[in-house]
C-alpha cells in the first residue's frame, strides 16, 4: 500500500513539475501608455484577452518604455520569471535581438521588425488591405475630390497605408486626390488637430489617418465631415460620421504564438524563420467602424446608390464593390491584392508590372507614392 502511495505521489509530483515547465509567464514591453487608445492600447487589449482565456498563462507588462531602454526592462521582466517576452515597437528591434542572444533560454517576439534569431520571432498585423477598402468608400464620399490624410511618420508602413488608400479611392473616383499632412509623432492630439484643421481649410471633406488618437475623427465630425477610424473602434466618438475604419486583433497573433509555445511547437531553437505577417485572411485585422460593423448603417444607402463603371465588375455599387473586395482578401485563398499590377506611382513610373503582386520584402520597404497623392513625400524615389 505504502508503495502504491509512493508511486502516486511520484506521479503527481512529476506531473506538477511537467505542468510547471509548461506554465508560461509572458512579459509585454510597450512603447506608449496603455491609455493612448491607439497602438499600445490595442496590444494591451490583446494581452488581456489571451491572459483570461488560458489557465497556464500569466502576463505582465511595462508601459511607456523609451526605445533605448528596452534591454533594461527585458532584464527586469526575466528576473520576475518571464519566459516569453513580447516587445511592441520597431525601435525595440536591436535591443530585443541583443537580449535574445544574452538569454538563449527565453523566447522573444518582436513586433514590426525584420531581425530574427533562434529564440526570437517577429510579428505584425498589417492594415494595407483595410486602408484600400476604406479608400473605396472615401472615393465615393468626397464631393470636393479632396480627401485629407493625417499621417504620423514618412516610413514604409505609413506610406504603404496611404498608397493603398489612394489606390482604393481612385478605383472608385479616378479624379480623387489624397492630401497628406505629416505630424512626425505617433501620439500628439494637438498636432493631429491642427493638421486636420489645415486640411479642412484646404477643402478636404473626407478624412483618414495613421496616428494613435481619435483626434481626426473628432475634428472632422465637428465640421460634419465623414472619416475613417484607425486602430481602436472609434464609432462612439462620432456615430454619425465614422464611416468605417481599421480594427486590429492582436489577440489572434498572441494566442496563436503562445499556444504553440505551450504545446512545444515553438522553442528557443526554431524561431529564426517564424514571422507573422497577418492580414484580413488570418483575422488579425478587420474593416469596420467597430467590431462587426463593416460600414456604418448611416452610409449604407449612399454607398448602395453610388454606382460606378468598374473595369472588372462593370456597373456596380461601391457598397457591393467593398464587400466583393473584402471577400476576395478575407478568403484563405486570397484572390485579390490592392497592390496588383499594373500600378504607376505619382511620377508616372510603373512600380508593379501588370499581373504581378508585390512581394513581402517590397511591401515592407515601399517608398513610392501612388498616383493621386498630393503633398510632401520625404524619401520619395
Partner 1 sequence: MDWVNWLVSTVSRALAFGVPLLWGTLGEICAERAGVVNLGVEGMMILGAFTAFAVAQSTGQPGLGLLCAALVGGGAALFHAFLTVTLRANQYVSGLALSMFGLGLAGLLGRGWEGKPLAATLPTLTLPGLARIPVLGPMLFQDQTVLTYAGVLLAVLLWLLLFRTRWGVVIRSVGESPATADALGIRVSLVRYLCVGFGGLLAGVGGGYLSVAYRPAWTEGMSAGMGWIVIALTIFAAWDPLQAIWGAFFFGALYHLSYRLQAYLAPELLKLMPYLFAVVVLAASGFGGARWRRRAPGALGLPYVRGER
- Per DSSP (E only), the strands in 55-210 are 57-62, 84-87, 107-111, 120-125, 146-151, 177-182, 206-210
Of 211-270, which residues contact partner 1 (CB under 8 A)?
Answer: 213-215, 218-219, 232, 236-238
Q: Give whichever of 110 and 290 is closer to partner 1, judged by the CB atom.
A: 290
Q: Identify the burial level of 199 via C-beta atoms within 10 angstroms of its C-beta, where 0-12 means exposed, 13-18 middle and 19 or more buried.
A: buried
Interface residue with partner 1 among 9, 102, 184, 347 (CB under 8 A) is 184
Contact assessment for residue 248 and residue 285, using Cβ atoms and an 8 Å cutoff: yes
- Work out whether 375 is an interface residue with partner 1 (CB under 8 A): yes
d(CA 68, CA 147): 37
Q: Give whichever of 120 and 234 is closer to partner 1, judged by the CB atom.
A: 234
Interface residue with partner 1 among 28, 30, 39, 41 (CB under 8 A) is 41
Interface residue with partner 1 among 97, 141, 166, 183 (CB under 8 A) is 183
Q: Using CB under 8 A, which of the segments 104-112, 208-216, 275-283, 355-363 binds partner 1?
A: 208-216
Q: Give whichever of 157 and 171 is closer to partner 1, judged by the CB atom.
A: 157
Contact assessment for residue 87 and residue 103, using Cβ atoms and an 8 Å cutoff: no
80: cell is 520576475
Q: How far is the CB of 334 from partner 1 (least distance, A)?
A: 32
- Work out whether 50 is an interface residue with partner 1 (CB under 8 A): no
Of 140-179, which residues contact partner 1 (CB under 8 A)?
Answer: 179
211: cell is 496616428
Contact assessment for residue 130 and residue 138, using Cβ atoms and an 8 Å cutoff: no
Q: Give whichever of 81 and 224 is closer to partner 1, judged by the CB atom.
A: 224
Q: How far is the CB of 365 from partner 1 (least distance, A)?
A: 21
- Work out whether 378 is an interface residue with partner 1 (CB under 8 A): yes
Interface residue with partner 1 among 24, 146, 188, 380 (CB under 8 A) is 188
Of 20-39, which residues contact partner 1 (CB under 8 A)?
Answer: 33-37
Contact assessment for residue 231 and residue 247, using Cβ atoms and an 8 Å cutoff: yes
- Per DSSP (E only), the strands in 135-192 are 146-151, 177-182
For the chain, how long is the longest CA-to-CA vector?
88
- Work out whether 59 is an interface residue with partner 1 (CB under 8 A): no
Torsion angles phi and psi, residue 151, rounded to 5:
-125, 145
Helix (H, G, I), strand (E, B) or coil at 376: coil
Q: Using CB under 8 A, which of the segments 95-103, 198-206, 283-291, 358-366 binds partner 1?
A: 198-206
Contact assessment for residue 303 and residue 137, using Cβ atoms and an 8 Å cutoff: yes
Which residues in this chain contact partner 1 in the complex, by CB under 8 A? 33-37, 41, 179, 181-184, 187-191, 193-195, 197-198, 201-202, 213-215, 218-219, 232, 236-238, 374-376, 378
Amino acid at each position: 500500500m505504502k508503495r502504491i502511495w509512493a508511486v502516486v505521489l511520484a506521479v503527481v509530483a512529476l506531473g506538477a513539475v511537467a505542468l510547471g515547465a509548461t506554465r508560461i509567464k509572458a512579459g509585454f514591453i510597450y512603447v506608449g501608455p496603455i491609455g493612448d487608445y491607439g497602438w499600445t492600447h490595442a496590444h494591451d487589449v490583446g494581452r488581456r484577452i489571451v491572459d483570461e482565456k488560458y489557465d497556464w498563462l500569466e502576463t505582465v507588462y511595462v508601459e511607456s518604455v523609451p526605445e533605448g531602454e528596452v534591454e533594461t526592462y527585458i532584464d527586469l521582466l526575466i528576473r520576475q520569471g518571464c519566459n516569453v517576452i513580447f516587445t511592441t515597437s520597431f525601435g525595440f528591434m536591436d535591443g530585443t535581438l541583443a537580449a535574445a542572444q544574452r538569454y538563449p533560454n527565453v523566447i522573444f517576439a518582436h513586433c514590426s521588425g525584420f531581425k530574427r534569431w533562434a529564440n526570437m520571432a517577429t510579428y505584425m498585423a498589417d492594415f494595407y488591405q483595410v486602408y484600400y477598402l476604406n479608400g473605396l468608400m472615401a472615393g465615393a464620399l468626397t464631393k470636393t475630390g479632396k480627401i485629407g490624410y493625417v499621417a504620423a511618420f514618412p516610413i514604409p508602413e505609413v506610406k504603404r497605408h496611404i498608397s493603398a488608400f489612394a489606390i482604393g479611392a481612385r478605383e472608385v473616383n479616378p479624379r480623387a486626390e489624397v492630401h497628406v499632412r505629416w505630424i512626425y509623432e505617433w501620439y500628439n492630439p494637438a498636432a493631429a488637430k491642427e493638421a486636420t484643421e489645415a486640411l479642412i481649410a484646404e477643402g478636404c471633406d473626407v478624412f483618414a489617418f495613421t496616428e494613435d488618437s481619435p483626434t481626426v475623427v473628432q475634428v472632422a465630425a465637428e465640421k460634419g465631415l465623414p472619416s475613417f477610424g484607425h486602430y481602436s473602434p472609434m464609432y462612439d466618438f462620432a456615430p454619425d460620421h465614422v464611416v468605417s475604419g481599421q480594427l486590429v486583433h492582436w489577440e489572434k497573433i498572441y494566442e496563436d504564438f503562445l499556444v504553440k509555445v505551450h504545446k512545444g511547437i515553438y522553442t528557443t531553437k526554431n524561431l529564426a524563420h517564424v514571422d507573422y505577417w497577418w492580414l484580413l485572411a488570418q483575422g488579425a485585422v478587420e474593416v469596420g467602424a467597430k467590431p462587426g460593423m463593416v460600414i456604418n448603417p448611416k452610409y449604407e444607402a449612399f454607398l448602395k446608390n453610388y454606382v460606378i463603371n468598374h473595369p472588372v465588375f462593370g456597373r456596380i455599387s461601391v457598397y457591393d464593390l467593398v464587400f466583393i473586395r473584402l471577400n476576395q482578401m478575407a478568403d484563405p485563398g486570397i484572390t485579390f491584392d490592392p497592390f496588383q499590377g499594373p500600378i504607376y506611382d505619382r511620377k508616372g513610373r510603373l512600380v508593379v508590372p501588370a499581373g504581378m503582386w508585390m512581394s513581402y520584402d517590397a511591401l515592407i520597404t515601399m517608398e513610392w507614392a501612388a498616383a493621386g497623392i498630393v503633398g510632401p513625400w520625404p524619401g520619395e524615389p
